[in-house]
Chain A
Amino acid sequence: MTPPLALPNPAQKNLALRWGLVIFFLILEFALIGYAINGSRIPPTVKKVPAYEPWPESVLEVASQIPVQSGGRVKPLSTFARFELLQLHGSLKMKVETRGKTIKISATEWLLDCLFRPEIANQLPVFRLDNSEIVTNLGLKVDKLRTRLSFEDIFPIYDKLMQRGQELTRESENRELEMKEKQLTEFAQQILSYQALTSALDFARNGMQIPTEQLPPAVENPESLQKFSHWMAILPEVSEAIRSAADANNGEIPEAMRSTLGTIEEFITKTRFGLNWIPPYDESEEWRPLGRTLTDLIEGKSAQWEPAIADLQTLEELAPLAQQPDSRAFLDGLTAWQEDLTQRSADRGLGKKIPTEITYYKRSYFKYALAFFILSFVICAIGWLVTQGKMGTWVQRFAGITFFIAVCILVWGIVHRSLVTGRPPVGNLYDTIPFITAGAVILLGLGELITRRRLLLSLASFFGMVGLFLAFRFEYGDAKDHMDPLVAVLNSNYWLSTHVVAVTLGYSGGLVACFLSQVYVHLRLAGVIEGNKSFQRFVTRAAYGIVGFTLVFSLVGTVYGGIWANDSWGRFWGWDPKENGALLIVLLALLILHARLGGWLGEWGIHFLCIFMGMVVAFSWWHVNMLEVGLHSYGFISGGEVIWFFYGAEVLSLGVGLAAYLLHRSEKKG
């Protein structure tokens, strides 16, 4: 077998120039990609929190299984915590230094801190700040533009920040806010969300704090008067007593009563937001924070006082135990609470998939798949150097095995995800990333099985790495739970498993063709395959064949989408950006095939257009969602400046191709 790649022949013309150009373009490409990645990265901050004591594994295990309702579905507390922390912190782990050791705090641990130890949570560097000017303008000293701050860090400007946030929210009704102003309002909103979590159990931790001298001397069990649940249980009587006292006091409520009433009101308000972990006591579907249930009771919209008081009492017993997180009593109390909520959830036929969802996230399929793709790519790279003999064969086999393992993990991850969501593998933009990656690597892997040229396997491993890296970046950046249910119009397993799958496979094909052509132009510029016509033809044929694959799947998927649109919205084709994006891929594939058949497109032309195809796929896959126009509003995303870096990298690849072509021409003439 001819080795696919060979070191350039020293007699090759312009060798120095060629390698100079290759290095120049590679530096530019990597710099561009590096800048795009680094642009949104915040250097890890390790904050000293001496009082931090990690939660025991057993507690975390139980806590993660607590069912909560969020985003329209019942999910494990660990999933809720995961996306809350991603939104605030931009990462799933928080590093702190405690007693000389650096530890990583997980999302569930952080949420437990918020609920049971807010004084500790307030010291954690939870708030990601992409532009610290928004707080320095309010008088806070921060030395970096991008950083992470704790609630305690922000506290000195808290009032100013909230006030400015409210002002800007009002102003946004009349004018478009500037970027910094939007960032400030979002930041203020994040702090409020955080506070909703940290104050959710204030009533249980702090109690009523009524001074002993204000307690009536004849009370049998004065401790009970310090419990919020007690006051809620006797609220109707208390109201009556306050009314009588006020009547007897010229309409004035006595000071002691006023203070108690104020505390009750404060606790109800504080528990109105945050965690929806109390299943409804009636037939309704909406889980709510405790405060909203209590408000309904007070307003007479509900009469379920008994279970509500019982829940308050449970939490009042549980919260103080958390001061000793490794105590048996806390673990038992938490387990009882989790089991109670799980049972109430199960009684409504909900939360059945909580265990499998926890397993899905624990297994970190995509992380392991990424590791195996990296390993496979490294072995492939070694394989380029060791091409001959037994060693070469074994390296190749080993690369194939690691790649196969990576694909299996990736596919199983996608399947597991589908089992959790109960829908086909692609339902939103995030889902498309692992699916397209899987489609592309399987396509390339099958290609390698047929051709045995080593190139496609290397490319497949590289694609797997890039695809899964993108999946992580998007999940972290978007910080939304992509397992949440879909809007009514998308809620069709038939259409999701046909149209969406076909279109995304078309994207896979377009990107594979683009990657192949990028490899081709880089190798041509480096002079590595100049004398190997058979290899050049092979890459061109592979790229051309994959354009055919792209056309079939894109066309079928696009037309099938039209039929779905005709059944949903009453029109087959509406020139909507999402539809047009798919059409652009179809048109470009048709252009390549017909121009080739017409004899106007040679090897170089095919590769140039295939690289361009990558840009068109990126436009269709990502960019149309950023235009924020059209009927596919459920897919809109904001931001996404990174797309321009991708276009930039593709333009550079076209530059590589042009340089290689011009050198090839001049050498041929010479």
Chain B
Amino acid sequence: MSQPKIERSLGQKIFRVLSGFEIAVVCFILLFLLTFFGTWEQQYIGLYQAIDKYFDIDSLFVVPRNEHDKIIFLPLPGTYWVIVVLSINMFCGGIVRMRKGWRTAAVLVSHFAILFMLVAGAVSSIAKKEGLMMIYQGEKSDYAQSYHSSDIEVFAYDEKGDRTAPTVISSAELEPLRNEDTLHVDLPELPFELEVTGYLGASSMAIAKNDLERAKDHKVVDGYFIHEVERSTTQEENMPGCYVTVSKGDEVYELMLSNLNPQPISFVIDGTRYGMLLTRKVWPMPFEVELNKTVGDYYPGTRKARWFQSDVTKVTDGNREDYEIIMNHPMRHGGFTLYQARWDKPQGRPFSGFAIVSNPSDRWPEWAFYVSTAALFTHFLTMLSLYIMRSTRKSSKAVS
């Protein structure tokens, strides 16, 4: 006898598709391929570029390529968006639609926990900020700098020769530029116009008179020019550079900025001296960190790190709090986490590099982990016990 056909509304049909195993399986296949190609390509383009290409929120489609830039697989959807679809599927199928009972309780809980973990990942990729704060022992700092992104800072010098608050041309505007592009920047707070040209994501500086052959093909400013270098697979090593034209009426300045040059380039407009600098993006902190003492050592006779420790004081509005930061034990406070990321002692003067992270979902994966682990083990052990009981029953029947 055939079963009567169940009439379903459009909403129900959509829900059934969204919650089906089909979507889950397709998502797992896609994620598998994306993770594999995203890993494989890292050996050619580096970790940062691979994340940008495969796993970033902006990546809608990905074309896997080999070391010679040849396409090696069909275009795939961006990982972030596959995870979004998988999360919807998991919610609809693995939580709402899933049969509820004691045998599925653990799976239900683990689905919920994993979903929570994926949400944590999404929040992190949107809201997380990170940077590096370098401090020498006995000194203090109240800002961190980005590992990868560089901004142009433009500022005026006051009468004492100190820098005033800078106006920033953000890396978000600069990084998409190609070498042949021109970026017109309108800065209402400054009395001049800016034009950025010849932007290079990975560049080096050279003295024109020392490299006449190459200088012929480049714009030379004050005896220097910037030229493209092979992009390093370690993004921190890629130093951007560009040319900037500053103009006001007939007054025109040609400047050359490079991330390799830590000194600002200065110019005078309307009798005011200004400075301009291409530097790693600065992230001001709402507190100051004083590095009281930092110690580190290596295993004897090697350069293998054994131990790093920093004793710091965090100063917020006059309130002083002491912390100890060591490997695997960061300092967490007020939404910020400080990690011991670097340590060295050049010329006997020790310094610490603290990775600073602000991530609203910092501890969410940990909570999700405890729940999912308990649920997964419960489910696995339940299944195993049932299997053993069935097997024992079968063999005892066979004996009798």
Chain A residues at the B interface, C-beta cutoff of 8 Å: 1, 69-73, 276, 284-288, 450-452, 484-485, 487-489, 491-492, 495, 541, 545, 548-549, 551-552, 555-556, 559-560, 562-564, 566-577, 580-581, 583-584, 587-588, 590-591, 594-595, 597-600, 624, 627-631
A563 to B233, CA, bound (A): 26
- Highest count of chain A CB atoms <10 Å: which of B25, B47, B124: B25
Residue from B327, B368, B384 within 8 A of A488 (CB atoms): B327
Q: Provide 18 A-B residue pairs closer than 8 Å at the C-beta atoms, listed in order of the A residue.
A: A69-B301, A485-B306, A488-B305, A488-B307, A488-B308, A492-B328, A552-B376, A556-B369, A559-B373, A567-B328, A567-B330, A569-B355, A575-B38, A575-B51, A584-B32, A591-B25, A598-B25, A629-B46
- Stretch binding the partner chain, chosen from B216-224, B268-276, B387-395: B387-395
Residue from A555, A562, A571 within 8 A of B130 (CB atoms): A571
Instruction: Provide the residues of chain A in CB contact with B171, threshold 8 Å.
Output: none
> Is A72 a contact of B369 with CB atoms below 8 Å?
no
Residue from B24, B43, B128, B355 within 8 A of A629 (CB atoms): B43
Shortest distance in angstroms between B100's beta carbon and chain A's nearest beta carbon? 16
- Highest count of chain B CB atoms <10 Å: which of A1, A70, A587: A587
A27 to B299, CA, bound (A): 49
> Is A580 a contact of B38 with CB atoms below 8 Å?
yes
In the complex with contacts A489-B328, A575-B55, A630-B42, A568-B302 CB distance below 8 A: no
What 9 A-B pairs are tightest by C-beta distance, nearest first?
Answer: A72-B299, A598-B21, A591-B28, A285-B300, A570-B357, A488-B305, A580-B39, A286-B300, A72-B302
Interface size class of B (residues with CB under 8 A): 35 or more
Please encode chain B, from 299 to 328, with 1 for each CB lying within 8 Å of some chain A CB and 0 for all others. 111101111100000000000000000011
In the complex with contacts A590-B28, A598-B21, A572-B124 CB distance below 8 A: yes
> Is the C-beta of B22 less than 8 angstroms from some C-beta in chain A?
yes
Instruction: Provide the residues of chain B in CB contact with A587, threshold 8 Å.
Output: 28, 31-32, 35
Instruction: Provide the residues of chain A in CB contact with B28, threshold 8 Å.
Output: 587-588, 590-591, 594
A487 to B299, CA, bound (A): 9
Instruction: Provide the residues of chain B in CB contact with A583, threshold 8 Å.
Output: 35
Residue from A570, A599, A600 within 8 A of B337 (CB atoms): A570
> Is the C-beta of B50 less than 8 angstroms from some C-beta in chain A?
yes
A599 to B25, CA, bound (A): 11
Instruction: Provide the residues of chain A in CB contact with B356, threshold 8 Å.
Output: 570
Shortest distance in angstroms between B147's beta carbon and chain A's nearest beta carbon? 11
Instruction: Provide the residues of chain A in CB contact with B305, threshold 8 Å.
Output: 487-489
A484 to B304, CA, bound (A): 10
Shortest distance in angstroms between B375's beta carbon and chain A's nearest beta carbon? 10
A590 to B110, CA, bound (A): 13
> Is the C-beta of B121 less than 8 angstroms from some C-beta in chain A?
yes
A364 to B130, CA, bound (A): 49
Shortest distance in angstroms between A492's beta carbon and chain B's nearest beta carbon? 5
Write the chain A residue with the least CB distance to B86.
A590
A325 to B106, CA, bound (A): 70
What 13 new A-B contacts, CB under 8 Å, besides A555-B372, A567-B330, A575-B50? A555-B376, A556-B376, A559-B368, A563-B369, A568-B339, A569-B339, A569-B341, A570-B130, A570-B356, A572-B365, A574-B51, A600-B21, A629-B43
In the complex with contacts A572-B365, A628-B43, A286-B301 CB distance below 8 A: yes
> Is the C-beta of B54 less than 8 angstroms from some C-beta in chain A?
yes
> Is the C-beta of B295 less than 8 angstroms from some C-beta in chain A?
no
Chain B residues at the A interface, C-beta cutoff of 8 Å: 20-22, 24-25, 28-29, 31-32, 35-36, 38-40, 42-43, 46-47, 50-51, 54-55, 117, 120-121, 124, 128, 130, 233, 298-302, 304-308, 327-330, 337, 339, 341, 355-357, 362, 365-366, 368-369, 372-373, 376-377, 380, 383-384, 387-388, 391, 395, 398
Write the chain A residue with the least CB distance to B94.
A594
> Is A563 a contact of B43 with CB atoms below 8 Å?
no
> Is B22 a contact of A598 with CB atoms below 8 Å?
yes
User: What's the count of A-B pairs with C-beta under 8 Å?
Assistant: 171
A576 to B117, CA, bound (A): 18
> Is B21 a contact of A545 with CB atoms below 8 Å?
no
> Is A570 a contact of B355 with CB atoms below 8 Å?
yes
A208 to B365, CA, bound (A): 69
Instruction: Provide the residues of chain A in CB contact with B328, threshold 8 Å.
Output: 489, 492, 495, 564, 567-568
Write the chain A residue with the least CB distance to B381.
A552
A571 to B366, CA, bound (A): 12
Shortest distance in angstroms between B204's beta carbon and chain A's nearest beta carbon? 16
> Is B25 a contact of A600 with CB atoms below 8 Å?
yes
A571 to B31, CA, bound (A): 20
Instruction: Provide the residues of chain B in CB contact with A599, threshold 8 Å.
Output: 21
> Is B47 a contact of A491 with CB atoms below 8 Å?
no
Write the chain A residue with the least CB distance to B354.
A570
Instruction: Provide the residues of chain B in CB contact with A73, threshold 8 Å.
Output: 299
Instruction: Provide the residues of chain B in CB contact with A551, threshold 8 Å.
Output: 376
> Is A71 a contact of B302 with CB atoms below 8 Å?
yes
Write the chain B residue with the least CB distance to A627.
B43
A580 to B21, CA, bound (A): 24
A631 to B236, CA, bound (A): 13
In the complex with contacts A450-B391, A572-B121, A584-B36 CB distance below 8 A: yes
In the complex with contacts A563-B365, A577-B39, A572-B120 CB distance below 8 A: yes
> Is A287 a contact of B301 with CB atoms below 8 Å?
yes
Shortest distance in angstroms between A254's beta carbon and chain B's nearest beta carbon? 40
Shortest distance in angstroms between A284's beta carbon and chain B's nearest beta carbon? 8
> Is A452 a contact of B300 with CB atoms below 8 Å?
no
Shortest distance in angstroms between A625's beta carbon and chain B's nearest beta carbon? 12
Write the chain A residue with the least CB distance to B303.
A72
Instruction: Provide the residues of chain B in CB contact with A286, threshold 8 Å.
Output: 300-301
Shortest distance in angstroms between A632's beta carbon and chain B's nearest beta carbon? 11
Write the chain A residue with the least CB distance to B93.
A594
- Highest count of chain B CB atoms <10 Å: which of A570, A574, A577: A570
Instruction: Provide the residues of chain A in CB contact with B302, threshold 8 Å.
Output: 71-72
Shortest distance in angstroms between A405's beta carbon and chain B's nearest beta carbon? 25
> Is B130 a contact of A627 with CB atoms below 8 Å?
no
Instruction: Provide the residues of chain B in CB contact with A591, threshold 8 Å.
Output: 25, 28-29, 32
> Is B35 a contact of A580 with CB atoms below 8 Å?
yes
A628 to B355, CA, bound (A): 23
A548 to B384, CA, bound (A): 10
A564 to B329, CA, bound (A): 10
A488 to B327, CA, bound (A): 7
Shortest distance in angstroms between A353's beta carbon and chain B's nearest beta carbon? 16
Shortest distance in angstroms between A146's beta carbon and chain B's nearest beta carbon? 29
> Is A559 a contact of B369 with CB atoms below 8 Å?
yes
Residue from A495, A555, A629 within 8 A of B42 (CB atoms): A629
